[in-house]
Amino acid sequence: MRLRITKYDPANRDQQGHYTKNDWISIGDIGNSYDGKIFTAADYFAMEDAYCESVKLLLQAQKIDHLFISRYSRTVSIPSFFTSTKFYNMRDELIRPLHLSQSWNAIEIMIRLTLREEFWCSFKGKYGTYLHFGYGFYMFYGSKRSVDLSTINFPKCIFIEENFPSPYLSAE
């Protein structure tokens, strides 16, 4: 099973697969206008919740209760405010133990922080499971173990596209 999990409706793709609508791609787009509507923090957090719920549902369907961080990078550009605070310096101390196997609560925190571009990470787990994040709010989930996706009630704003291997697999 190799999935691309996105907020992008496949109906809005051209024949080459490019998304044709002007849409937000990161938390940094809050306050911008798309299709005549201001993108708000509430809009962002609702989508972030939907992404987390989608991963949780997939893990539950596969009876996976732990993942661990396979790669981590804080090369993401961080505003200077954060680099001068205790929060930023504590980040590595908080992340270090997360390389160990993590339950859902820790995984969810890491997903949220990755989607918010605080850093970048990827996960792996049993059954060859992986979870990767791409630019523009793309997420890739794979496993050697299949699951009947039609039995999972994903959030309505999420699109699950099958047979999409992660472009980040070769880096694992």
- The whole-number average pLDDT for the span 107-126 is 89
Q: Helix or strand or coil: residue 11?
A: helix
Give me the residue label for tokens 């190799």.
2
- From residue 136, alpha-carbon distances to 126, 130, 150 in Å are 27, 19, 26
More confident residue, 25 or 82: 25
- From residue 29, alpha-carbon distances to 18, 24, 77, 85, 162 in Å are 20, 6, 15, 24, 28
Bridge partner list, 142: 2, 130
Specify the pTM: 0.85
- From residue 157, alpha-carbon distances to 35, 106, 150 in Å are 17, 24, 16
Is the confidence at residue 6, as pLDDT, over 60?
yes
Q: What is the pLDDT of residue 109?
A: 87
Report yes or no: 8 and 161 within 8 Å, Cβ to Cβ.
no
Give me the residue label for tokens 């809050």.
30
Is the confidence at residue 100, as pLDDT, over 70?
no
Report yes or no: 140 and 131 within 8 Å, Cβ to Cβ.
yes
Q: What is the pLDDT of residue 70?
A: 84
Q: Helix or strand or coil: residue 13?
A: strand
Q: Residue 81 — pLDDT band, cuts 50, 70, 90?
A: very low
Least confident of 3-7, 50-54, 120-124, 138-142: 120-124
Kindly compute the dihedral angle of the four CA atoms of residues 150, 160, 12, 119, in this order, to the nearest 10 degrees: 160
Q: What is the pLDDT of residue 59?
A: 95
Sheet holding 138-142, edge to edge: 68-73, 120-125, 129-134, 138-142, 2-6, 159-162
Work out the mean pLDDT of the chain and round it to a whole number: 85
Q: What is the pLDDT of residue 88?
A: 44
